[in-house]
Structure 1
C-alpha cells in the first residue's frame, strides 16, 4: 500500500508522472531499496471509474463535446473506444500553435496517465534506428526490453527480422482468414508479414481489474506492492528546485490541483516521466531564463526537435473470406504488421477484426480491413515547444506553444506509404475505399467526414500520439541535453526518461523503448545511490 506524502521527508527519489515510464521508474528504484515519491497531476481512479462502461461512456462523450472540453482530442479514433474521462479537459489545460500549423495533442491526466488508453503495441527498435544519433544501441537495451516483455506478458512471434528484433514474447494471436490471404499476398511481393507484438484485450478473469497494458496492471502495481512508494495524486509539478551552484536538483515544487496551494517535495534524485511535452514545459519553467538560479541549458537546445510519427490510414475490402473465429477482436497483439524493410516506416493492419453488424455494411459479402502507415521523423529545430508569453492554464502556469509541421522528407514518406498500401491491396484483389463508402454510419457520419481520422489527408502532427524529442540524449554535449544514461548534463541527479529524451523517432511504437530506457537509467541511478 502506498504511504502518505510527508513534506518534511527528503525522499531518495521523486518521479514526476505515473504513466508507463513513471511506473517503471518507481518500480525499478523501489526494488533497489529507495524510498520513492510519485507525483501525478491528475486524480487516482478506481478501475471501474477509469475504464467506464457503455452506454455511459457514450453519454459522457457527448457531454464533453457539447461543453467544448474535447474538441481536439475527439479527432482521434481512440477517443471513441475509451472512457472519455481519461482525456484532459482542454478548457482548463489549453495550449497554443501557429495558425497555419495545427497540432493535435492527446493527454491523459490521472494515475496511470495515457497507459490506460494506450493501444498496446510493443515493437523494439533495431540498430538501424539507434544508429541515428543515439548514444545507446539495441545491445544496451536488450536485457531491459526482455525484462519488461516477460513481466508484462507481451504476445508475438520470433520472426528473425534484423530490422525488427525479436522479443521475449508469449505465443502470438492467430491470423484471421483475411489476414492469411494478405500474408500470402505479401509473400508474393517479397514483403514480411508478421503478427503484431503487444497486449491482448483486457479480460478481468485473466488480468484482474486493470488491463495488463496499464501502469496499474503492471509496473505501478509492483511498485506500490514494495511498500517503498508514496503516490501523491492531484500534484501539478511546476518547478525543479536546484542547489545554489545549479548543478544538483534538490526536489520540486508542485501545486495542489484541488486547493491551489504550493507545496515542496525534497529528493536526492528527480526522474521526469510526465510525457514529452509536459516534461519539456516543466524544464522550460525551471530553466534559468525563467527562474533565477534555475536549470542551465548552455546550447539553448531545450524544446527543439519535437517529433511525431507521420501517418496515413486507408480502409479496404478483400473478396469474401471464411468467417473469423468466434471471439476475434482487435488489439495491440491481435493485429498484424508489414514492417519496414529499410525505408523508415511500417504498416499496421488488421482484417476481419472489427466487422460491424451486416446491416451497417454497404458490402457485407467482403472482408473489411485497414492499413495504417507510420513513418519516422527526424529532429528539426524548426519543430519546437516554447512557453506561451500570454496564455495560462487554470492554475496560472504558462502553457506550451507547439510549432510543428510536416516537411519535404515527411511528404515523400507519406507518398511511399500510400503507394505500398495500394500495392498490397491491389495485389490481394482488394479495393481501397473511404470508411463512409464501406459502412452506414448513422449519427457519426458528419464527424467522420470532418475528423482527422476520417479524412483521406495525412493526420496533422500530434495525431499519432507518439510525440518525442525536445530533450535529446546523445554523445555530443553540443547537440544533446542528456548523456547516455538519461542524465541532464551538468545536473547528474536529474533524469529525463520519457519520450522527450529521444534524439530520433524511428518508426516503431515508442512506449516499450521508453520503458526500457527508464529501467536502464533508474537501475544505474539506484546503484550509484548506494
Structure 2
C-alpha cells in the first residue's frame, strides 16, 4: 500500500479516520460504492517486513521498550510477548491518564492497520439475546438493531475473509458463513470430550482465522486490514492514505449541524491541517474516537458537536477477564499447531449459566477461550515432564455504567492535543462474574484431569521472569479494565437522542454526516469477541450512508 506524506488537497467524498478493522471495512465499502475516500492514520505506514518481525529480535525490542518506558502498561497483555513491540504505541509520546487507584491498561496500535495487526482473530457473531441488552438502574439498555440487521454483513465479511468455524446450532451464538473448523489437538479433543461427558458442557472449535500462510495470503495476514480490506479499497483507485497524522477534532459549521472536515496533526512536526470532507467516518478505535468527539464538542469549541443525551464519553466498557494455566496429562508429539483465532477452542456459556443461590448473582454472560498443546516451550524449559500445557481465559459482559467514562481534564501531548482521562472500574456485578468464571474454569480443568498451576511452576523463563512478577495475567483475580483490549462504548447508538449519542444508522443525531463505526457505538458489551461485529456495523453504516448520498 502506498501512502502520501504530502498534504492532500480538495474536498473528499469521505474521510475515514483509522485504518484498522473497522476503518478498513469503511474505506472498502465506501470506495466500492463510488466515493473518493481519504484514510487518515495516526501512525506510520510500515512494510510487512517492518511490521511482521520475529524472535529473537522481537525479544530484544521488548526489553528495550520496557526499560525505556515505551510499553510499561501494554506489556501487561500476553499478546505483547508474541508480536513485534513496534506495533504497540509509545506511551511516552501518546500519554493518557487515569485515577491512581483505578488503573486502565490501554493497548494502542498506532500504525496503518492499527490493532488488526495484533488481533487474535476470533470471529463470533452476536445474537438477539445480546442485542436485547441489559437492565441497569431501572433503565433497559438495548441495541437499536437486531440480528437480521447484521446477518448479510456478517456473511459477506466471513466469506471474504475466509474465516473458519463449525456449525454448532446454538441460539445464543449464531453459526457463520465459514470455512470448515480447524482440527483440534489430541489433548484438546480429550479435554472437550471429558468436559462434555462429566459436566454436560459443550466445548466447540473456536471460530476465526487460521495461521498466516504467505504463499496463500501474501505478505500480510488476512486478519489484518493490510491483508484484506485496505488493498481491496486501494484497488478501486479512489482511495488515498495519509499516514502519521493524528486527527485532533472535527471542523463543523457554526450551527454544529454538519461536519465540514477534520483537523489533523502531523506527527513529525506538530503542524495542523484542515482537511475538508463531505462525510466523516470515525473508526479510530473506541477511546480515540470518543476523544475526537470530546475535543469537537460544543463545550470545547463554538459550533461544536451537540450531544442532547449528555452521554458522550460515558458508559465505557471492556470485557472483564481472568485466566488460568494448567498441566494436562500426556506429552504432545510432533510439531505443535499454532494458537490462532480458529486454532483453539471455546466454551460459549453466554448467559446460560447456573448461578448458585448461596453466591452473589450477576447479570450478563461470558465465554471461556482455551488451547492445549499449542505453545509448549522446548522440553528443557518445562518443569512438568509428560504433560502438555493448556490455558483457559474467561471474558465476560460488563454493564454500561454512567460513571465509567472518558473525559478531557487538561492534560495534553507533545503537540498540545488534549489526551483522554479514563475513569473506569469493575462493579460488584463484574467481580461476582469473575468468581463464577474461576469456579467454572477449575471445574472444567479438574473434570479433564488437568492440574491448575501458575506459569512459573510450568516453565523455566530465565530472561523474562523479572518482568512477570506482578503481571496481571498471572493473578487469580480480575485484570484491570482495558486489559482484554475489547473496550467499547462512550458514544452509543440508539433510537432516541435523549439516551444515545448516535442514531440507529451510526450518525451523530445533530450532525448526521458524521458516522462512528468502531466499538464506541456499542450500547452494551455483550460477551463475544467484538471485532467481527464492529466490522459488520461499519459495513452496514457505510452502505446506508452511500444510499443517502445517491438519494
TM-score (norm 2): 0.94
Matches within 5 A, 1:70-469: 70-132=71-133, 133-188=142-197, 189-320=199-330, 323=332, 326-342=335-351, 343=353, 344-389=365-410, 391-469=411-489
Partner of 1:29: 30
Shift of 1:324: 5.0
Matches within 5 A, 1:496-515: 496-515=516-535
Shift of 1:175: 1.0
Shift of 1:7: 4.2
Partner of 1:480: 500
Question: Contact (CA 8 Å) 1:2, 1:229: kept in 2 or not?
Answer: no
User: Aligned with 2:480: secondary structure?
Assistant: coil
- Supply the distance in 1 between the matched residues of 2:109 and 2:116 (Cα, whole angstroms): 8
Question: Contact (CA 8 Å) 1:73, 1:79: kept in 2 or not?
Answer: yes
Query: Structure 1 residues 253-262 or 281-290, which shifts more?
Result: 253-262
- Supply the distance in 2 between the matched residues of 1:135 and 1:522 (Cα, whole angstroms): 17
Query: Structure 1 residues 323-332 or 114-123, which shifts more?
Result: 323-332
- Supply the distance in 2 between the matched residues of 1:394 and 1:6 (Cα, whole angstroms): 21
Question: Contact (CA 8 Å) 1:107, 1:114: kept in 2 or not?
Answer: yes
User: Aligned with 1:10: secondary structure?
Assistant: coil
Query: Structure 1 residues 44-53 or 452-461, which shifts more?
Result: 452-461
- Supply the distance in 2 between the matched residues of 1:138 and 1:240 (Cα, whole angstroms): 32
User: Aligned with 2:513: secondary structure?
Assistant: strand
Q: Deviations over 1:144-188 (max 9, x none)?
A: 001001111101111111111001111111111111111112212
Shift of 1:385: 0.3
Shift of 1:426: 1.1
- Supply the distance in 1 between the matched residues of 2:532 and 2:208 (Cα, whole angstroms): 9
Shift of 1:142: 0.6
Shift of 1:298: 2.0
User: Aligned with 1:487: secondary structure?
Assistant: coil
Shift of 1:3: 7.5
User: Aligned with 1:136: secondary structure?
Assistant: coil
Q: Deviations over 1:5-62 (max 9, x none)?
A: 6644111100000111000000000000000011111110100001122221111111
Question: Contact (CA 8 Å) 2:28, 2:232: kept in 1 or not?
Answer: yes
Query: Structure 1 residues 157-166 or 50-59, which shifts more?
Result: 50-59
Q: Which runs of 5+ in 1 are unaligned?
A: none
User: Aligned with 1:517: secondary structure?
Assistant: helix
- Supply the distance in 1 between the matched residues of 2:3 and 2:247 (Cα, whole angstroms): 19
Question: Contact (CA 8 Å) 1:434, 1:456: kept in 2 or not?
Answer: no
Q: Which runs of 5+ in 2 are unaligned?
A: 134-141, 354-364
- Given the alignment, which residue of 539, 543, 549 partners 1:523? 543
Shift of 1:245: 2.3
Question: Contact (CA 8 Å) 2:254, 2:302: kept in 1 or not?
Answer: no
Partner of 1:44: 45
- Supply the distance in 1 between the matched residues of 2:384 and 2:329 (Cα, whole angstroms): 10
Question: Contact (CA 8 Å) 1:13, 1:35: kept in 2 or not?
Answer: yes
Question: Contact (CA 8 Å) 1:73, 1:106: kept in 2 or not?
Answer: yes
Question: Contact (CA 8 Å) 1:7, 1:264: kept in 2 or not?
Answer: no
Question: Contact (CA 8 Å) 2:252, 2:303: kept in 1 or not?
Answer: yes
Question: Contact (CA 8 Å) 1:2, 1:227: kept in 2 or not?
Answer: no
Q: Deviations over 1:396-419 (max 9, x none)?
A: 111100000011000110011101
TM-score (norm 1): 0.98
Structure 1 runs, 4 residues or longer, greater than 6 Å off: none
